[in-house]
């Protein structure tokens, strides 16, 4: 089944601008199906169910959601319009707590709406501005991915073995992705990487989504279980680990898919560089350290029964299902952003990079 990372967007606006057309990532890799989303409840469910997922992609989606919601409320008077939009934004923001891109995009749209209304524009004009801003967020994401891919590729070598965790590709962003960007760009330029994709329990984003993207792009790739990274590194098969991120704290601690920090600890042990790739919109200066990041807890069924014909644990067994963990900044070799490569000490390099933003 084809997926063209260069011109496929997992989320986009319908031509009449009344719906968001979103690739339903819960159906991959076996079916390519699109959702047509227009109500607040559908927006919330798409994020919660992971039909729309990956931090930057959630940000792009949220930008469009706010434009559509603005259109729904644009016949109200100015005060009611603003308060309804804020209420909807708050509800949407509660769909998932960890990726900062969701609240970042909602806040960006709400700040714009506030500014438009307070400078004398009516709700209709304000809605137009929100549509333009949503398209701009999308365009920025496409540009951002390309820059991250270039910066990341400059750190890799032909023939490298690369370990990935979860999915930080074109499905999780728009176009090249973050963590997969350098691999896809390298492939276009004739690099021969061998990629090992952690399957990424419990929701298998590595096996279902990363492998799907890499196989489609003709990259030499192998799916491994999450507990195999240590063996691969001991055998010298991995020269770099590339992962995406959901929130980077001001000191460089990074939240990403559960299991990421384990891969980082193993990489440190074997002296393998561990790279985090993500845009400035994922850096949260209001979060001082990883301890301040809220970790999403998900349905226990995702572990014990969701993928199996019969439950894979006895009745009465308990499950603990945190969707993310935090990789300590001391384990990260570099953070690769659209503006360049940030090196330790991250407290300093991040503060410098974020100055004036
Ligand atoms: O729960 P998910 O599938 O949304 O988790 C996604 C990840 O952890 C990604 O690595 C992260 O969002 C970065 S995507 C470029």
The last residue of one of the domains, among 146, 178, 205, is: 146
**Within a domain: 4:** no
Say whether both 298 and 158 belong to one domain.
yes
What is the number of the ligand 1 atom nearest to the C-alpha of 277?
15
Say whether both 158 and 221 belong to one domain.
yes
356 pLDDT band, cuts 50/70/90, is: low
Say whether both 94 and 226 belong to one domain.
no
Say whether both 84 and 175 belong to one domain.
no
Say whether both 182 and 139 belong to one domain.
no
pLDDT the model gives residue 120: 97
The last residue of one of the domains, among 121, 146, 171, is: 146
Q: Which of 165, 172, 247, 282 to mutate to test the pocket of ligand 1 (most atoms within 8 A of CB)?
A: 172
Say whether both 121 and 178 belong to one domain.
no
What's the gap in Å between 109 CA and the centre of ligand 1? 22
**Within a domain: 130:** yes
Whether residue 244 is predicted with pLDDT greater than 60 in this model: the reply is: yes
Q: How many domains does the chain have?
A: 2
Say whether both 157 and 142 belong to one domain.
no
Share of the chain above pLDDT 90, in %: 96
240 pLDDT band, cuts 50/70/90, is: very high
- Domain ranges, residue 298: 149-355
271's torsion region: left (phi>0), alpha (psi -120 to 50) or beta? left
What's the gap in Å between 116 CA and the centre of ligand 1? 33
Q: What is the mean pLDDT of residues 309-331?
A: 97
pLDDT the model gives residue 175: 86
**Within a domain: 6:** no
**Within a domain: 221:** yes
pLDDT the model gives residue 253: 98
Q: Which of 9, 198, 246, 325 is catalytic?
A: 246
pLDDT the model gives residue 51: 98
**Within a domain: 1:** no
Say whether both 319 and 246 belong to one domain.
yes
Collect all residues with Cβ–Cβ distance below 8 Å to 311 and sequence separation of at least 6: 304, 305
| pLDDT tens, residue by residue, 145-159 | 999 999 999 999 999
Percentages of the chain per state (helix, strand, coil), in multiples of 5 = 45, 15, 40
The closest of 149, 130, 124 to 338, measured between CA atoms, is 149
Q: Which of 10, 58, 245, 321 to mutate to test the pocket of ligand 1 (most atoms within 8 A of CB)?
A: 245
Say whether both 127 and 178 belong to one domain.
no
Collect all residues with Cβ–Cβ distance below 8 Å to 91 and sequence separation of at least 6: 40, 44
279 pLDDT band, cuts 50/70/90, is: very high
| pLDDT tens, residue by residue, 80-126 | 999 999 999 999 999 999 999 999 999 999 999 999 999 999 999 99
Active-site annotation holds for 246: yes
Share of the chain above pLDDT 70, in %: 99
pLDDT the model gives residue 1: 53
Say whether both 117 and 153 belong to one domain.
no
What is the number of the ligand 1 atom nearest to the C-alpha of 179?
15
Q: What is the mean pLDDT of residues 321-350?
A: 98
Say whether both 110 and 223 belong to one domain.
no
269 or 175, which is more confident? 269
What is the number of the ligand 1 atom nearest to the C-alpha of 324?
8
Here the CATH number for the domain that contains residue 282 is 3.40.50.10470
The CA-based angle 102-142-245, given to 5 degrees, is 45
Distance separating alpha carbons of residues 296 and 207, to the nearest angstrom: 21
Here the CATH number for the domain that contains residue 59 is 1.20.120.420
**Within a domain: 228:** yes
Say whether both 157 and 243 belong to one domain.
yes
- What does pLDDT average to over the chain? 96
Q: Which of 10, 48, 166, 278 to mutate to test the pocket of ligand 1 (most atoms within 8 A of CB)?
A: 166
| pLDDT tens, residue by residue, 21-68 | 999 999 999 999 999 999 999 999 999 999 999 999 999 999 999 999
Q: What is the mean pLDDT of residues 298-327?
A: 96
Q: What is the mean pLDDT of residues 15-25?
A: 97
What is the number of the ligand 1 atom nearest to the C-alpha of 256?
8
What's the gap in Å between 121 CA and the centre of ligand 1? 37
The last residue of one of the domains, among 115, 146, 177, is: 146
**Within a domain: 5:** no
| pLDDT tens, residue by residue, 182-216 | 999 999 999 999 999 999 999 999 999 999 999 99
pLDDT the model gives residue 4: 79
**Within a domain: 3:** no
């Amino acid at each position: 089944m084809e997926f063209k990372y260069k011109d496929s967007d997992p989320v986009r606006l319908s031509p009449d601008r009344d719906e968001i057309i979103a690739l339903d990532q819960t159906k991959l890799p076996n079916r390519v199906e699109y959702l047509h989303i227009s109500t607040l409840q559908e927006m919330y469910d798409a994020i919660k169910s992971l039909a729309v997922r990956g931090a930057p992609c959630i940000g792009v989606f949220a930008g469009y959601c706010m434009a559509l919601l603005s259109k729904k409320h644009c016949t109200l008077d100015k005060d009611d319009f603003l308060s309804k939009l804020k209420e909807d934004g708050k509800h949407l923001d509660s769909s998932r707590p960890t990726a900062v891109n969701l609240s970042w995009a909602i806040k960006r749209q709400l700040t714009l709406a506030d500014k438009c209304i307070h400078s004398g524009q009516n709700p209709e004009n304000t809605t137009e501005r929100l549509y333009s801003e949503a398209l701009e967020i999308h365009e920025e994401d496409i540009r951002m991915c390309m820059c991250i891919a270039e910066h990341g590729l400059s750190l890799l070598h032909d023939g490298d073995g690369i370990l990935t965790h979860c999915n930080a590709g074109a499905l999780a962003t728009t176009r090249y992705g973050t963590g997969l960007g350098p691999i896809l760009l390298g492939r276009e330029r004739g690099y021969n990487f061998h990629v090992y994709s952690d399957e990424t329990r419990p929701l298998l984003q590595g096996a279902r989504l990363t492998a799907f993207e890499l196989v489609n792009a003709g990259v030499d790739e192998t799916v491994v279980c999450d507990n195999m990274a240590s063996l691969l590194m001991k055998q010298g098969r991995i020269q770099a680990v590339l992962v995406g991120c959901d929130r980077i704290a001001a000191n460089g601690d990074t939240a990403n898919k559960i299991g990421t920090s384990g891969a980082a600890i193993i990489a440190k042990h074997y002296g393998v560089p561990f790279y985090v790739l993500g845009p400035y919109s994922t850096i949260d200066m209001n979060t001082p350290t990883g301890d301040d990041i809220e970790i999403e807890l998900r349905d226990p069924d995702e572990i014990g029964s969701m993928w199996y014909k019969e439950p894979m644990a006895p009745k009465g067994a308990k499950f603990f299902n945190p969707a993310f963990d935090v990789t300590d900044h001391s384990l990260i070799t570099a953070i690769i952003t659209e503006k360049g490569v940030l090196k330790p000490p991250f407290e300093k390099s991040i503060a410098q990079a974020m100055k004036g933003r």
